[in-house]
Chain A
Amino acid sequence: MKENSRLKAVRAVREELAAVGIDPFGVQIDRIVSPTEGIIDGRPTILAGTNNYLGMTFDPDCIASAREALESAGTGTTGSRMANGSYASHRELELDLARFYGKRDAIVFSTGYQANLGMISALAGPGDTVMIDADSHASIYDGCTLAGANTIRFRHNDADDLAKRMRRLGDGAADALIIVEGVYSMLGDRAPLRDFVRVKQEFGATLLVDEAHSMGVLGKKGQGLAEEDGVLADIDYVVGTFSKSLGNTGGFCVGDSADMDVLRYASRPYVFTASLAPATIAATRTALRKLEAATDLRLRLQANAERLHAGLSALGFRLGAPANAVVAVLVGEKLEALRFWDHLLKNGVYVNLMVPPATPGNESLLRCSVSAAHTPEQIDAICAAFGSWPGVKA
């Protein structure tokens, strides 16, 4: 068969990795033992790259809910909600989410990725303008592409730069959709959300905030950065995921718009995909109830994050942001980062290797995601593995 020329660049990267003999993007966890432990290449390994912030994946209540739903409602829905019908539990989860955030309504999507695709492409179209942070997640970029809207990037976390670009839109600024994230997944840095709310209000625009990495982590109730900064009521749409703090799969959007029910039908990623399985919905509903009350888990998560951050700082590593559930070690050069990542894995610690163009600043990262389920001993073991690296530290 003829070689697909579009795959040339990806093929080249794969061949480069094969030449080094390390494949960081094809890791197989042979057996998952707990939210923070797995067996990889026959070795017991501490999982520090899973986004399992509250350790919810093995929660007994969530497992019991999933099991009950599996027995009573079967393995899958075998179709989309629009064409094949919703189960009562899909709508119940939406009402749970709306109540949790104090918003008018919610839409559940089949993944967090699809939630961004679905919302952005329903809210904007050709001729409209979407303003996005330069460090936005791929799902936001892809949502803008699907929308076909004019997509303008502003400097990362820079509300003044956003305001400058909004001014250039003139009267059109009021119709613009602004998109930011609560916590950025690569470095773990937070958005200056109050500043962005001020810009949104100055121009009368619409603001969508993706709280994928802050839901369950920040705020007294775990609603995210918007709660912590006291601006939840000023945000038009909050997008989030079930696949991090809630320990499952899926995505959602909550909002106060009277059009929430219209939006779902204008959203191709909602309409043309299979809905979430009953066991997923049931476990997520239980996890959401537990997340709201999980102040103890949030405190433990923060303590673990501070322990890891302090430990790695003491070893001389450059870190991406103040202590947070995402602790990113800046490594710089790609090949060095690759060997460092492999060293960690062989020493029983799994983290995420992130390389440009997925990373900001053209720098490679070793990204750790901390869990409330990590023990202090595991955090110390992660630090020890980093400390055993014989190469350049910063």
Chain B
Amino acid sequence: MNHQDVVAQLIELVTPIAEGRVAVITENTGITSELGLDSLRVMDLVVAVEDQFDISVPINALAEVRTVGDFASLIQKSAGENA
């Protein structure tokens, strides 16, 4: 799966959790800085991502995630390790 496909699916997952805080979510949108997701909502997003992509996301790796694009890269990395 290429990066843009993952980004598109991730935007679909994050949109209901973000509850309309940002009108247009892109690869460069900040997950906590712009969407304002607190730690609980980030965990909701992780669970949704894990179900969607059938992967396990290590929570320690989330420290490096700032944007939707960063998270998409982590998903690709996790999917590679799980494959």
Contacts and interface: CB of A to CB of B under 8 A. Distances in A.
Query: Do A and B bind?
Result: yes
A151 B55 CA distance: 13
Contacts of A357: 38-40
Contact of A152 (B38, B39, B43, B58): B58
**Dominant secondary structure of chain B at its interface with chain A:** helix
A362 B43 CA distance: 11
Interface size class of A (residues with CB under 8 A): 10 to 19
B59 A152 contact: yes
B2 interface: no
Interface string A142-168: 001100111111010000000001001
Contact of B56 (A134, A149, A165): A165
B52 to A, nearest CB: 14
| Interchain residue pairs A-B with the least CB separation, the first 5 | A150-B58, A168-B82, A152-B56, A165-B56, A357-B40
Interface in B3-36: none
Interface residues of B, number: 14
A102 interface: no
The residue among A129, A149, A150, A362 with the most chain B CB atoms within 10 A of its own CB is A150
B35 to A, nearest CB: 16
Contacts of B61: 150
A134 B43 contact: yes
A151 B60 contact: yes
Contact of A151 (B38, B40, B58): B58
Given A168-B55, A168-B82, A148 B40 contact: no
A148 B60 contact: yes
A74 interface: no
The residue among A134, A151, A152, A155 with the most chain B CB atoms within 10 A of its own CB is A152
Interface of B: 38-40, 43, 46-47, 55-61, 82
Given A150-B60, A356-B40, 5 more contacts: A144-B60, A150-B58, A152-B58, A153-B46, A357-B39
Nearest to A168: B82
A43 to B, nearest CB: 35
A134 B47 CA distance: 10
A149 B39 contact: no
A145 B39 CA distance: 16
Nearest to B78: A168
A153 B59 CA distance: 7
B51 to A, nearest CB: 10
13 contacts: A129-B58, A145-B60, A150-B58, A150-B60, A150-B61, A151-B58, A152-B58, A153-B43, A153-B59, A168-B56, A356-B40, A357-B39, A357-B40
